[in-house]
Amino acid sequence: MNKIMSFSMALLAATALAGGTLLYAASRDYISIVGSSTVYPFATVVAEQFGKTTRFKTPKIESTGSGGGLKLFCAGIGVEHPDIANSSRRIKRSEVETCRKNGVKEITEVKVGYDGIVISNAKSAPQMKLTRKDLYLALAKDIPSGQGETLITNPHKTWKDVNPSLPKVKIEVLGPPPTSGTRDAFSELVMEAGCDKYEFIKAMAKTDKDRYKAICMGVREDGAYIEAGENDVLIVKKLEANPDALGIFGFSFLDQNTDKIQGSIIDGAEATFENIADGTYPVSRPLYVYVKKAHVGTIPGIREFISEFTSEKAWGPEGYLIDKGLIPMPDDERKKFSTDAKMLNNLAL
């Protein structure tokens, strides 16, 4: 009988545990942040600094990707929904619409800085001098045939085929999958820019947008472009092992591994901190943080967290975020967004 007793006691305890949680009082005393894996390394540094220097708890940050994060962010108002969303692209009109439908009417947009996308190879190989057109011709699925306004399946095998001034090395590029924000930015900043060099395709952007997108952003599937997953550490390792391959990833990974890999020169500009900051290096994108205004005042510390993020010691030209690889905005832009953050100005698309 003793055993039955202890047995049923255990069961009872288990059900009580499960049941008790249903009555769990709705409260949360820490900030919940979701979103882009590109902003994650920066947001986490701010969160840690914030947790250590203020009386507030350290915010929780989930790396869900920009799209996934904004979806969670827009799901509604209340402690079970996140307070802040990080994004490596601007919020879309459709997402703002979803937000509004779910009661998230007021959002503050804060641009926090820039991130460069680099095309790198191993240091043991010669540095590549590429143009965006070269990259487009090397990676697009279909390219202009060169005679009239016709397209052919990409025939290029080596970089020399693309541009005679490049070495005779097999085209092999490791890059992010289509679900990644880095890939979106690469498609837009490199592939589209490269394909705009052809007038007849550029004209298509106005007449037949879908076809334009398909031509410009369609990436080869014959093995020249290798989807290497979201893990940039892995790409760096693979580049080291294969000096012929190029890799596409965020500037911070190049910055941390300068003894192993080097950034290619794109359109004459080297992928250095200074060149990305002043805009000479063409492949960079803005990073954003979105704040749910309805939660300010309910969840403690949101205002203070944002003011930490937008302080000069964090995002200024000599701030700690810069040490982590963030590219700072120019002075006037920083000023504008720090006032936006302070006043919690509403997002205007």
Partner 1 sequence: MNSMNNGMGPVEHGTRNLLIQARLKRRYFTEKVFQLLGILAIVTAMAMLGVLFVTIIGKGYRAFQQTFIRLEVFFDRVEIDPLGTGERDVLSRADYGLLVKNAMRDVFPYVTERREKRELYAVVSSGAAFQLREMVMSDPGIIGSRQAVWVLADDDVDMYIKGVFEEGGGRLSERQVLWVQDLMSRGDLRKRLNTAFFTKGDSREPELAGIGGAVVGSLYTMTVTLLLSFPLGVATAVYLEEFAPRNFFTDIIEVNINNLAAVPSIVFGLLGLAVYLNFFGLPRSAPLVGGLVLTLMTLPTIIIASRASLQAVPPSIRQGALGVGASQMQSVLHHVLPLALPGMLTGTIIGMARALGETAPLLMIGMVAFIVDIPAGIMDKATVLPVQIYLWADSPERAFLERTSAAIIVLLAFLLLMNGLAVVLRKKFEQRW
List contacts with partner 1 (CB under 8 A). 3-4, 7, 10-11, 13-14, 17-18, 21-22, 24, 26, 28, 30, 32, 37, 40-41, 44-45, 47-48, 51-52, 57-58, 60-63, 79-80, 230-233, 250, 252-253, 255-260, 318, 320, 323-325
107-122 and 284-292 beta bridge pairing: antiparallel
H or E element in which residue 277 lies: helix 273-277
Q: Is the Cβ of residue 123 or residue 213 nearer to partner 1 in the bound state?
A: 123
Helix, strand, or coil (residue 284) = strand
Q: Is the Cβ of residue 52 or residue 206 nearer to partner 1 in the bound state?
A: 52
104 φ, ψ (degrees, to nearest 5): -90, 90
Residue 252 CB, shortest distance to partner 1, in Å, is: 5
Classify residue 124 by its DSSP letter: T
Residue 71 CB, shortest distance to partner 1, in Å, is: 13
Q: Is the Cβ of residue 62 or residue 270 nearer to partner 1 in the bound state?
A: 62
Q: Is the Cβ of residue 90 or residue 324 nearer to partner 1 in the bound state?
A: 324
d(CA 50, CA 38): 20
Residue 240 CB, shortest distance to partner 1, in Å, is: 9
- What residues does 109 pair with on adjacent strands? 290
Residues 6+ apart with CB under 8 A from 259: 123
d(CA 253, CA 178): 20
d(CA 151, CA 6): 77
Residue 53 CB, shortest distance to partner 1, in Å, is: 8
Neighbouring CB atoms inside 10 A of 19's CB total: 9
d(CA 117, CA 135): 13
Residue 44 CB, shortest distance to partner 1, in Å, is: 4
Residue 27 CB, shortest distance to partner 1, in Å, is: 9
334 φ, ψ (degrees, to nearest 5): -60, -40
Classify residue 264 by its DSSP letter: P
Tokens of 144: 């202009």
Q: Are 344 and 302 in contact (CB under 8 A)?
A: no
Q: Is the Cβ of residue 230 or residue 267 nearer to partner 1 in the bound state?
A: 230
Q: Is the Cβ of residue 82 or residue 194 nearer to partner 1 in the bound state?
A: 82
Q: Name the residue among 237, 262, 235 with its Cα closest to residue 124.
A: 262
32-35 and 84-87 beta bridge pairing: parallel
Residue 172 CB, shortest distance to partner 1, in Å, is: 23
Residue 32 CB, shortest distance to partner 1, in Å, is: 7
Residue 120 CA from chain centroid, whole number? 18
Q: Is the Cβ of residue 184 or residue 230 nearer to partner 1 in the bound state?
A: 230
Q: Is the Cβ of residue 192 or residue 232 nearer to partner 1 in the bound state?
A: 232
Q: Is the Cβ of residue 209 or residue 313 nearer to partner 1 in the bound state?
A: 313
Residues 276-285: b if buried by 16+ CB within 10 A, e if exposed: bbeeebbbbb
Residue 273 CB, shortest distance to partner 1, in Å, is: 13
d(CA 205, CA 222): 26
